[in-house]
Amino acid sequence: MSTSEQHGRARRRLVAATGAAALTLAAGLVPQQAAAADGDKVLTVAVAQSVDSLSPFLAQRLLSTSIHRLTYEYLTNYDPEDARAIPALATKWTSSPDKLTWTYTIRSNSSWSDGKRATAEDAAWTFNTMMTDPDAATANGSFVANFRKVTAPSPTKLVIELKKPQATMTALDVPIVPKHVWEKVDDYSEFNNDKKFPIVGNGPFILTDYKPDSYVRLKANKNFWRGAPKFDELVFRYYKDQDAAVAALRKGEVSFVSGSPSLTPAQASSLKSEKNIKVNDAPGRRFYALAVNPGARAKNGEKLGDGHPSLLDERVRHALFMAVDRKTIIDKVFQGYAVQGEGYIPPRFGSYFWEPSDGQELAYDPAKAARLLDEAGYKKNGDGKRLGKDGKPLDYRVLCHATDPNDKAIGQYLQEWWGDLGIDVTLNCLDNVTDPWLAGTYDLAFDGWSVNPDPDFVMSIHTCAALPATPKDTGATDNFICDKQYDELYAKQLAEYDPAKRADLVKQMQSRLYDLGYMNVMAYPNAVEAYRTDQIASITTMPEKAGNIYGQDGYWSWWSATPADGGDSGGSSSTGIVVGIVAGVVVLAGAGVFFALRRRSTAEDRE
Amino acid sequence: MTDAPLTAAVKAAAPAGPGPRARTTTRYLRYGAGKVGGAAVSLFAVLVTGFFLFRLIPGDPVKTMTGGRPVSAEQMAAYREEFGLDLPLWQQFTEYCGKALTGDLGTSYQFHAPVTDKIAEALPNTLLLTGTAFVLFTLLGIVLGTRSAWRHGGLGDRLNTGLALTLYSVPSFWLGLLLIIVFAVGIGPVPGLFPTGGMESGGEEGFAHVLDVAHHLVLPVVTLVAVEYGQTLLVARSALLDEMGGDYLTTARAKGLRDDQVRRRHAVPNALLPTVTLVFVNLGRTVAGVILVETVFSWPGLGGLFYQGLSVPDLPLVQGLFLFFAGTVIVMNTLADLVYPLLDPRVGR
């Protein structure tokens, strides 16, 4: 190879490298939200959870079901103020005197995005498909399990006949799909509704584009019967790392970050000092509890697992309850981003919220706890350890989630508090606690659930009916609790159609659960989320006075969000400018390199 | 020359045997067949391991998937039947093997879609990220490594190897977060130049889309290159150092070649041989090893998919991906084995 050839190659390489570097640099100048069409108001929400399916018959995850709330109407919705059932696709509903027939009036002003009117026929077809095709029952089958027959005598009349009374008939969280589109589907187990866009729906937004783990795009439905959303577009963008999502909010790349399930105290505190960012520290819908193994057993009476026998004594459970300082947990572990737990249902569901009476309360009282243990016959030995009936020191295995720092921190407090009582605690922190949990091989476990506006489900998981049929089976039970008195109350509330009377029964159930001492609700963690006030001027929380934004029961947050004046997140006319800049930089850099190489080669030639 | 007639006789007696070139080809084919056979055995071992390994993960897929939702015991049983979880283990295994041989990796529990579809969806994204990074860190490693070795012990060498070793030991997710804070959000006088995550803004088309993806690609690629180039650099450096005492280099210098030419035309080509193996192994490893970088930068690739599979556990998905990852490494290793004798005839004899 001659010297000039070598120089030529070197020069080409250098020009190429410089060009690439320049392109990279210039690409860095592309405006962050160049995606929007000119002038469109775009609301961008950071999410982490993958969409499991966009088919309402299959989707189970929070993000997917939230998208369905936005794109399809349900029979009813929940009032953002107090979560009571309000009209949606149905304008009103009545039940027959025998409580077995429900008649819904379907509104006549809701139309599918392809122009056809949404009718009772669509609703009847949706429910019937779920009742007859097991694949279509994947996501919401439990809602129709008690249905005998569903018919649509007229476009505005839907009739559902039940096998037995069901109080949750105004809380059927089932997206109603357009029959004329969905009846063409062959196999509901495989149809994910994610290939052909826009997807025909009748909610406040229309799903226009989706790329797995990249984004979900929705356009405002201008014909939505309740009124069009104020933002033109709603985009869910993926941030798998929560710190990266917070960084994106700081930068203005996204308008809203919720965290999963919550921003950490450190993230929230650092965002609080930021200009143009509002941290929404809202009462959460979750409870965080310590569950006691009540002597796990199956429906057929066979015992399973190896829960500690001392825990079958109510006095021991109450003693453990009373030796937990919930105030310290709120202050030190949750750093103030939680509320002290009492009843089973968080206070945000006002009508069902229950608190123990003064005489009933198991308040923090280690001295009384020690007395209770003495009374129960678990006395301290010379080493200060309490002995079980088998003569061995009490040592409780506590199941904790290895991925949850709160579990670990509280576990250490338990070791200290119960240690003072003379009881050892072995923390069993696992990535997946399901196996020992299902097998009943634990003494206590950290437990938590999100509660729906209708409390039926979280109450149902403590009924005897939820136990596994045999030790080999898996039941729907949370913690193997089975109590006759609780079950009677549960059956009564499910058949009670009067909201006030039903709420009273639900409170009685919580009272019973509290007295049993199997579930110690320690805290209601707050929903901590943040949004940019220069992009979102106002947004409805749920409950409206002080509530959360992400994962509401209903579409209130994104439907109500109003763009801020300065928050125009559109403006992609700059793409041309950017291309110009890139070309300019490349040419300049190329020219520079060319002259530099010329100088070098002439210098070498001189040598 | 007494043996001359004998040699001639031997030559004459063996006219029908294969010539030297044919012999080399046969030898190479035998060598190649051995390597490919070994790879096939390894792949089968992966198939078996994958199946049983992921069944050791504690957890009931059906329970985890339906967690937090009202699901009746009958429905749970229906799921088990649908996913074949009610069958005895050996039956699940034979079905799995039979299907895998026909390229059917099963249906993902959580996404209700064939695993091969999910892989095909995420693979191009991972290839774009790792491919770009791979080319850059291989070139950077070789160029800097050979330069370092040529002037070994000098300030440049010490700086180069020091920096490479430091970056090599930095956790990739930490470096990624640091780059996001500095170059995506912006800190002090540094403006936020790049997106904080994702692969595209969405809604772009044509050249604007290419530019947009390139823009999103910069930080994750920089992270990968930074943590990966050190290894290539060190191997290239030590390989060249081994060559540097060679007499042929003295000869080349004696011919009057410039130092630069001696390095590039004589020393480096020989020193590249050990690097080739590493390059292939890296290619396989990089595809599988970007889980953390993909997570930090929310890159919609195979890494994120694997993580999602593990968290359920979505058995068909993790098994399929495990097979794919391990398969890539095995195939790349085998390719390295096959290419090596072509570059260095001493290997494979």
pLDDT per position as a tens digit, B284-322: 777 766 888 998 999 999 988 888 888 777 888 988 998
Arithmetic mean of pLDDT, B155-181? 92
Strands in A371-510 per DSSP E: 395-401, 424-430, 444-450
ipTM: 0.81
Tokens standing for B52? Answer: 């049983």
Cβ burial of B105 (10 Å; 0-12, 13-18, 19+) is buried
Nearest CA in chain A to B265: A1
Give the separation between CA A266 and CA A243, rounded to whole angstroms. Answer: 11
Nearest CA in chain B to A34: B201
Locate tokens 């009677």: which residue?
Answer: A488
Give the separation between CA A158 and CA A140, rounded to whole angstroms. Answer: 19
Tokens standing for A260? Answer: 């999963």
Q: Is B257 helix (H, G, I), strand (E, B) or coil?
A: coil
Strands in A173-221 per DSSP E: 205-211, 215-220
In this prediction, the residues of chain A whose per-residue pLDDT falls under 50 are 1-8, 10-11, 14-36, 567-588, 591, 593-607
More confident residue, A25 or B156: B156
Residue B49: pLDDT band (50, 70, 90) is confident
Q: Residue A27: which of B63, B192, B211 has the nearest Cβ?
A: B211
Check CB contact under 8 Å for B76 and A476.
Answer: yes
Q: Are the beta carbons of B64 and B110 closer than 8 angstroms?
A: no
Cβ burial of A83 (10 Å; 0-12, 13-18, 19+) is buried
pLDDT given at position A18: 46
Chain B residues with CB-CB distance to A189 below 8 A: 82, 112
Check CB contact under 8 Å for A582 and B113.
Answer: no
Chain B residues with CB-CB distance to A244 below 8 A: 177, 180, 196-197, 296-298
Cβ burial of B307 (10 Å; 0-12, 13-18, 19+) is middle
Q: At what angle do helices B302-311 and B315-343 cross, to 10 degrees?
A: 140
Among A163, A85, A158, CA closest to A123: A158
For A34-73, the three-class secondary structure string (H helix, E strand, C coil) is CCCCCCCCEEEEEECCCCCCCCCCCCCCHHHHHHHHHHCC
Mean pLDDT of chain B: 83
Give the separation between CA A248 and CA A530, rounded to whole angstroms. Answer: 12
pLDDT of B20-48, one tens digit each? 777 778 888 888 899 999 999 998 898 88
Give the pTM: 0.83
Q: At what angle do helices B206-243 and B268-288 cross, to 10 degrees?
A: 130
Give the separation between CA A410 and CA A222, rounded to whole angstroms. Answer: 49
Tokens standing for A597? Answer: 């190489």
Best mutation target among B117, B177, B196, B294 (most A Cβ atoms within 10 Å) is B196
Size of interface A-B (CB pairs under 8 A): 187
Residue B16: pLDDT band (50, 70, 90) is low
Chain A residues with CB-CB distance to B300 below 8 A: 211-214, 238
Check if A518 contacts B (Cβ < 8 Å): no
pLDDT given at position B283: 77
Please state the length of chain B.
349
Residue B70: pLDDT band (50, 70, 90) is low
Amino acid at A559: W
Q: Are the beta carbons of A179 and A114 closer than 8 angstroms?
A: no
**Backbone φ, ψ for residue A159 (5° rounding):** -120, 125
DSSP annotation of B211 reads H
Q: Is A548 helix (H, G, I), strand (E, B) or coil?
A: strand
pLDDT given at position A38: 59
Nearest CA in chain B to A233: B203
Check if A142 contacts B (Cβ < 8 Å): yes
Check CB contact under 8 Å for A27 and B63.
Answer: no
pLDDT given at position A309: 96
More confident residue, A565 or B161: B161
Q: DSSP per residue over A527-547, as a string?
A: EEEEEETTTEEE---BSSSS-
Q: What share of chain B is helix, strand, coil (3-state, %, to 5)?
A: 75, 0, 25
pLDDT given at position B71: 63
| CA-atom Rg of chain B in angstroms | 27
Q: Distance from A193 to chain B by nearest Cα, in Å?
A: 11
A residues 218-247 closer than 8 Å to B (CB): 235, 237-241, 243-245, 247
Q: Are the beta carbons of B107 and B114 closer than 8 angstroms?
A: yes
Give helix then strand counts, H and E, for chain B. 15, 2
CA terminus-to-terminus distance, chain B: 31
Amino acid at A206: I
Among A459, A425, A431, A458, CA closest to A444: A425
Q: Is the pLDDT of residue B98 over 90?
A: no
- Cα B127 to Cα A283, B284, B288, B289, distances in angstroms: 44, 11, 10, 12
pLDDT of B182-235, one tens digit each? 999 988 888 889 999 999 988 788 899 999 999 999 999 999 999 989 989 999
Q: Distance from B261 to chain A by nearest Cα, in Å?
A: 10
A residues 192-221 closer than 8 Å to B (CB): 192, 209, 211-215, 217
